[in-house]
Structures are given as C-alpha cells and as structure tokens.
Structure 1
Amino acid sequence: MKRAMSKELLDEGEIDLQELERSLREVWHVNRYLGGNPALFRHLGKMLADPRAADRGGIRLLDVAAGIGDIPLALLRWRKMNGLDVTISCIDIHPGMVELAARRTASSDKITAMVADATAMPFEDDSFDIAFCNLALHHMDEEQAVQLIRELDRVSRIGWVVTDLERRRLAYWSAMLLAGVVWRSPVTKHDGPLSVRRSYTAAEARELLNRAGIEGAVVRRHFPFRLALVRHG
C-alpha cells in the first residue's frame, strides 16, 4: 500500500475544541485497549528503570505532540511510576490541543503544557531525561520526521521512543471497520483510516533513522500494527 499524503482533518486546524476533544477521546480508547499504550509504556518502563534516570533528582519527561494530555495522565497513574518523582512537559504545535491538555491536566502540578514545534524544540540539549512521541509520526512528511527524531535525540539524556501505527492492509481494513461501527465523531471516521495510510512501514521507519544519523536507534514491531522507534543508551 503506497503511503498517502493527503491531510487529515486534525492537521487542518479548523476543528472546534469540543469536536477535537471528542475525536481524540475516541482515538485514546482505541490506543489504550488495542496496543498503542502498552507498546509505549513497555519501552518507557525500561528507561525509567535505568539507574541514570534519577541520578539528578527528579525525572524529567517530555511528551512531544502531546494532544490533549491523556498519556501524561495515564503515566502518573501507571503502577510502575509509584514512588518516582516525575515531571512531564507537554508540547504541541496546535494551540487548541494545548488548551485542552492544560485544562485536562490542571489538577496535577506534575504536568505542564505549551505550544512548540516538535521539529524545532525550544529546549537546550539534554534538557530532559526521557522524551516520547505517540501517534504523531504519520502526520509528518519524511523531512519533518527525520528532524523530529534528531530533536528527540538532542533534548533527551537517557533515551527516547516514538510509537505509531504501521502501514499494512489489514490495519487499514481494521480502521475502516472501527470507522463503520465504533467511532461516532466524523473527524475520527475520516482520519482513522487515513492515519493508517499515512503511516510508515518498518522498513521506512528504519530509513528515517538512517537519514537522521542516530546511532543505536532501532525499530520494534508490536501487536497489533504498531511500530516503536527507540534509542536507549
């Protein structure tokens, strides 16, 4: 299946906040129960267990293209986070996303949200211990994806992980099924299947790492239809 290049509705930036939140909540539930979060958390768990994670006091995490802040909230509830002094900074280029993320995370003093470009982050080198990016890679063209990887590597001290969909025909037809019988938001119905068609294959993801020039980074495949680009070390 050739990679699609047409824009998703989420990329147009003209969706009202109520519909935007409704759509992203639907995506969140699929991500939570159908493999997205487990793949991300598996790699984050290994990095958080790294002895270097807490050698400078509290652990600093960066969520890139954070959407409405669901991943940081889930991380703080995650059983493997018990006892860890963690702060999570969230960035997104979409001001509406940041507004929703700030609203949803307002009860936690461990999470902050700001508008920033994932391909040109306003942070110094090694500003964070661990950085991660979930379900945003497919929104980017190859040049943007390469620059995202370079930026993640630049700002993270211990490691980083990018998780996203894997472009496969069965994944596409699964998304079409969800769009037909599960999703209610017209945004999700449109963007869900298109997200699969816009995503990268494992071979293409490896080529992105090669172009970024990141040594020690690898691509892992996870069930169902998930990719993780990881650098830890």
Structure 2
Amino acid sequence: MDDFSQNGAELQEALIHLRRLNRIFGASGPALYGVKQLWDDAGRPNHLTLLDVGSGSGDINQSILQWAHKLGVKMKVILADVTEEARIESERLFRNDSRVTFVKCNVFDLPACHADIVTASQFAHHFPSEKLPQLTKRMLEISRYGIVINDIHRHWLPWTAVWVFTRLISNNRYIRHDGPLSVAKGFRRIDFRKLAGQLGISTMKISWRPLFRYAVIIPKQQEGATDVQGS
C-alpha cells in the first residue's frame, strides 16, 4: 500500500478488508486513549477538531466520534490521505455524518495549527526511521493541543496473528502482503524514546495498549529537556 502506482479497485477493496482487521485487533483503542488524554489536558473543551493523517477510509475515528457524542463534545474530524481510493471509501463510510470531511493531500502540505489534535494511526511505520522525526515535528506544527501516534508493536506474536487472519479474511494482495509487513515495520518502546531524544521533546507518554499497540501522546509544548514517560 506504499506503492501508489497500482491504485484502483484492488486498493479500494484492501481498505474495506482493512476495516475488518481493525475491528478484530482493536485498532481504534490507542487513538481514542490518546485523544482522551489530550482533551483532558486541554481542559475538556466543548469543541474539538481532529485531523487524521494517512487516514485511509478513516474507520478508526468512528469510536472517537461515538465518545465525543456521548460526552456532548462538538467534534469535527478531517481525514487526510493522498489516494483517491481513500477519498471514495471515507465518503462512503461517513456519508451520513456531517462531522467528517476528507482532504486529499500530503501531511507536509497542511498548514500550521490546522486542528486541535492530530493523529496518525498505523501510518508512522510507513516512514523510514530517519524520516520519523520529520513526520512527528510536522504533526506537532499542524496541531494546537498535541498529537497521538497509534501504531503497531513489532513482535513475533502479532506478526503471526496478522499473517493468519489476513489469509482467513482476504485474498487481496495488499492485505496479505502489507498486514504482516506492517508488524515487521512497527515499533518498540526504544524507538519512541530515541525519537523523543532526537526532537528534544520534554514530555512524551508511551503507553502499550491491547492488542500489541502503542499509543504515543505528545502534547504541544515549548522546547525543553527530554523527560519520557512510559506505562
């Protein structure tokens, strides 16, 4: 799914099948966990704008929207992705929800302070390690309150589980190839600690979440000494 030269019906089908995998593996949990924390830190505002970069069809945001509705928070979600297939699938998925809009663009083209919270769910692992600081810094620039990186723990157990489930639920080449590869390109806690040091981030919370995922929460801050928290 990193190769945009072969877009079309197969990629669109992959986005549909990916939603099934996301439900099976609880992919929305870490994003919601992080958004709740940043919302708390911001004083629990009544209005909240969330920007999801590399969103795909944006299905991970459904649980966040449900949470906001339950609490009476007026939320707007902006989905940002570079592919036409993501636009088609997101507009189909959220066709009856006026709170969600889609923009076809690259994360590096978005303006500063474009949203309260910026999330990247299963997106950061698509970047080589040397580009991760650049992505994180850009996400922080785009946000007003902070960012949440929701990504996969690199470990043999989730790799095996994903390999099995992708073959049970899909014949799609993208899903069968990219599912296990995403786990292999995932993260360990030390990767995020290194990221904090590279950017001089004074507060970063790294939380291991079910099922084999990390929620990395970085509030908007002034530059300072690195003080990384883990849980």
TM range (shorter): 0.7 to 0.9
**Contact 1:142 / 1:208 at 8 angstroms: preserved in 2?**
no
Query: What is the one-letter code of the residue matched to 1:59?
Result: L
Answering whether residue 110 of structure 2 is matched by residue 122 of structure 1, we say yes
Answering whether residue 96 of structure 2 is matched by residue 107 of structure 1, we say yes
**Contact 1:53 / 1:59 at 8 angstroms: preserved in 2?**
no
Structure 1 regions of 5+ residues with no counterpart? 1-9
Q: 1:39 aligns with which of 22, 26, 30?
A: 30
Query: C-alpha offsets along residues 24-67 of structure 1, whole Å, 9 cap, x if unaligned?
Result: 2222222223232112212212223345352xx63111111111
Query: C-alpha offsets along residues 58-86 of structure 1, whole Å, 9 cap, x if unaligned?
Result: 31111111111212344323366541111
Q: Equivalents in 2 of 1:45, 1:220: separation in Å?
A: 13
Query: What is the one-letter code of the residue matched to 2:2?
Result: D
Q: Equivalents in 2 of 1:101, 1:93: separation in Å?
A: 12
Q: Equivalents in 2 of 1:95, 1:143: separation in Å?
A: 28
Alignment of 1:115-194 (within 5 A): 115-118=104-107, 120-124=108-112, 126-194=113-181
Alignment of 1:65-80 (within 5 A): 65-78=54-67
**Contact 2:159 / 2:184 at 8 angstroms: preserved in 1?**
yes
**Contact 1:166 / 1:201 at 8 angstroms: preserved in 2?**
yes
Deviation at 1:17, TM superposition (A): 3.7
Q: 1:94 aligns with which of 73, 76, 83?
A: 83
2:150 match: secondary structure: strand
Q: Equivalents in 2 of 1:93, 1:137: separation in Å?
A: 15
**Contact 1:53 / 1:129 at 8 angstroms: preserved in 2?**
no
2:78 match: secondary structure: strand
| RMSD of aligned Cα (Å) | 2.2
Q: 1:18 aligns with which of 9, 20, 23?
A: 9
Hey, which bits of structure 1, 4+ residues long, moved more than 6 A? Answer: none
1:5 corresponds to: none
1:213 corresponds to: 200
- Bigger RCO (CA 8 Å, 6+ sep): 1
Deviation at 1:16, TM superposition (A): 4.2
Query: What is the one-letter code of the residue matched to 1:92?
Result: D
Sort the Cα spacing of 1:76 and 1:218 in 2 relative to 1 into closer, same or farther, 3 A. Answer: closer
Identity of aligned residues (%): 23
2:85 match: secondary structure: helix
Query: C-alpha offsets along residues 154-174 of structure 1, whole Å, 9 cap, x if unaligned?
Result: 122222110111111122112
What's the TM-score once normalised by structure 2's chain length?
0.84
Deviation at 1:113, TM superposition (A): 1.1
